[in-house]
C-alpha cells in the first residue's frame, strides 16, 4: 500500500511539472514503475479522477490563476498552459468553471468578494518582503482538505511521527491548489520537512526557485485566514506585481513542535511572483 501511495505522489508531481506538455504512456510507466493500465487504475482509485482529467484540470485551474494574478492576454494564457488555440482553451475552461475565460477576467474582483470565500474588506495594508529563493528538496505527505485546521493538524501529527533531526530540519506547507477558484473548495495541502525521515522513506520533490512576496503571520494557525484576508483584500490587486501560478508556500519558522506558546509561532506566507 505504501509503495502505491509513493507511486501516486511521483505521478502527481510529474504531471504537475509537465501538465502543459503532451504526456506519453511511456512517461507514466517510467515514473510510476507500473503498467499504464495499472497506474490508471491506482490513480483513479486514489485521486477520484483519471490521469487525463487531472492534467486537464491543472491546465484550466492554472489558467484561472494567470487570469486572476497576471496581465497576460487570454490567448497567451491558453497557449502557456498547453492548449493549441483559444477556441479549445475557452471550451475546456467553460466546461470546468461554467463561465468563459473572458467573463472570468472581467469578474476577478467579484470572485474575491464572494461571502463564502475570502472577503475583500480590511483596514490593514500588509507590506511584504520581496525575496529570491533557491530550489530545495523537501519530503512530504499530502491531504485533500478544505483547509480545515483539524485535518491539517492531523496530517502534521502523522508527519511528525517520523523521525526528523531536531537540529536543521525546516517545515513547510505547500498549498497545491488555489482554493478561490476550485469548483468545490477541496484542495491538496502538503506537509513538508527539509530533511528525509530516519525511520521512513518519504516521497520528495523540489519547491521554490524564484521570486516571492513574503508575508509574516504571527500566532497560531487557526488565525492565519485573517492574514490571508488582509493579503487578498488590500494588496494583491494594487501591488503592481504579477503572480506565478506555482503553489503558495507556508514556511513554519517557529513550528508548533518548537514552542509551547501559540503566540510565539511564526509563519511566512510566500506568494510566487513572475
DSSP letters of 42-71?
Answer: HHHHHHSS-HHHHHHHHHHHHHHHHHHH--
Q: Are residues 77 and 176 in the same domain?
A: no
Torsion of CA 104, 107, 109, 114, to 10 degrees: -90
> What's the average model confidence in pLDDT over 118-134?
72
Q: 119: pLDDT confidence band, cut at 50, 70 and 90?
A: very low
> What's the average model confidence in pLDDT over 119-147?
80
**Greater confidence, 59 or 151?**
59
Least confident among 7-11, 68-72, 177-181, 195-199: 177-181
The pLDDT score that the predictor gives to residue 115 is 42
Q: What is the pTM of this model?
A: 0.80
Q: 20: pLDDT confidence band, cut at 50, 70 and 90?
A: very high
Q: Are residues 20 and 66 in the same domain?
A: yes
User: What sign does the CA torsion over 9, 176, 92, 89 have?
Assistant: negative
The total number of residues shown for the chain amounts to 274
In terms of residue numbers, what domain contains 88?
Answer: 2-106
The DSSP code for 247 is P
How many domains does the chain divide into? 2
Q: Are residues 250 and 156 in the same domain?
A: yes
DSSP, collapsed to helix, strand or coil, labels residue 148 as: coil
In a domain, 117, yes or no: no
As a whole number of angstroms, the distance between CA 129 and CA 12 comes to 31
* Structural contact between residues 56 and 65, judged by C-beta atoms closer than 8 angstroms: no
Q: Are residues 17 and 152 in the same domain?
A: no
> What's the average model confidence in pLDDT over 134-162?
87
**Greater confidence, 146 or 141?**
141
The pLDDT score that the predictor gives to residue 259 is 47
As a whole number of angstroms, the distance between CA 76 and CA 92 comes to 16
Q: Are residues 231 and 265 in the same domain?
A: yes
**Greater confidence, 225 or 216?**
216
Tell me the pLDDT tens digit for each residue of 25-65. 999 999 999 999 999 999 998 888 899 999 999 999 889 88
Res. 122: pLDDT tops 60 = no
CATH code of the domain containing 69: 1.10.10.60
The pLDDT score that the predictor gives to residue 264 is 74
Give residues with Cβ within 8 angstroms of 55, minimum separation 6.
15, 19, 23
Instruction: Choose among 81, 49, 51, 89: nearest CA to 65.
Output: 81
> What's the average model confidence in pLDDT over 244-271?
78
- Residue holding cell 511584504? 128
Q: Are residues 72 and 149 in the same domain?
A: no
Tell me the pLDDT tens digit for each residue of 62-111. 898 888 878 889 999 999 999 999 999 999 999 988 889 999 888 765 55
CATH code of the domain containing 216: 3.20.80.10
Tell me the pLDDT tens digit for each residue of 173-182. 998 876 666 5
- Which residues face 132 on adjacent strands? 211
Q: Are residues 91 and 134 in the same domain?
A: no
Res. 120: pLDDT tops 80 = no
As a whole number of angstroms, the distance between CA 262 and CA 23 comes to 45
Q: Are residues 16 and 49 in the same domain?
A: yes
In a domain, 124, yes or no: no
> What's the average model confidence in pLDDT over 192-219?
92
Give residues with Cβ within 8 angstroms of 31, minimum separation 6.
10, 11, 14
User: 45: buried, middle or exposed (CB in 10 Å: 19+, 13-18, 0-12)?
Assistant: exposed
As a whole number of angstroms, the distance between CA 128 and CA 215 comes to 5
Q: Using H for helix, E for strand and C for coil, what is the string for 65-85? A: HHHHHCCCCHHHHHHHCCCCC
Torsion of CA 197, 249, 93, 16, to 10 degrees: -30
Amino acid at each position: 500500500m505504501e509503495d502505491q501511495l509513493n507511486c501516486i505522489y511521483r505521478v502527481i508531481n510529474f504531471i504537475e511539472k509537465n501538465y502543459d506538455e503532451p504526456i506519453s504512456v511511456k512517461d507514466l510507466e517510467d515514473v510510476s514503475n507500473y503498467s499504464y493500465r495499472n497506474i490508471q487504475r491506482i490513480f483513479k482509485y486514489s485521486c477520484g479522477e483519471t490521469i487525463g482529467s487531472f492534467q486537464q484540470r491543472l491546465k484550466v485551474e492554472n489558467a484561472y490563476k494567470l487570469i486572476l494574478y497576471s496581465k497576460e492576454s487570454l490567448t497567451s494564457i491558453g497557449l502557456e498552459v498547453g492548449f493549441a488555440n483559444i477556441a479549445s482553451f475557452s471550451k475546456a475552461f467553460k466546461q470546468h468553471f461554467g463561465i468563459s475565460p473572458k467573463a472570468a477576467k472581467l469578474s476577478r474582483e467579484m470572485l474575491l468578494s464572494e461571502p463564502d470565500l475570502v472577503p475583500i474588506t480590511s483596514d490593514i495594508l500588509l507590506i511584504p518582503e520581496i525575496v529570491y529563493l533557491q530550489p530545495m528538496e523537501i519530503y512530504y505527505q499530502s491531504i485533500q482538505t478544505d483547509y480545515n485546521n483539524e485535518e491539517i493538524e492531523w496530517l502534521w501529527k502523522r508527519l511528525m511521527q517520523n523521525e526528523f533531526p531536531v537540529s536543521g530540519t525546516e517545515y513547510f506547507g505547500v498549498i497545491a491548489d488555489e482554493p478561490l477558484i476550485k469548483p468545490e473548495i477541496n484542495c491538496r495541502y502538503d506537509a513538508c520537512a527539509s530533511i528525509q525521515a530516519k525511520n521512513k522513506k518519504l516521497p520528495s520533490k523540489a519547491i521554490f526557485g524564484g521570486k516571492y512576496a513574503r508575508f509574516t503571520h504571527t500566532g497560531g494557525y487557526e488565525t492565519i485566514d485573517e492574514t490571508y484576508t488582509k493579503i487578498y483584500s488590500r494588496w494583491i490587486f494594487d501591488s503592481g506585481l504579477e503572480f506565478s501560478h506555482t503553489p503558495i508556500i507556508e514556511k513554519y519558522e517557529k513550528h508548533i513542535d518548537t514552542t509551547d506558546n501559540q503566540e510565539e509561532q511564526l509563519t511566512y506566507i510566500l506568494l510566487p511572483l513572475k
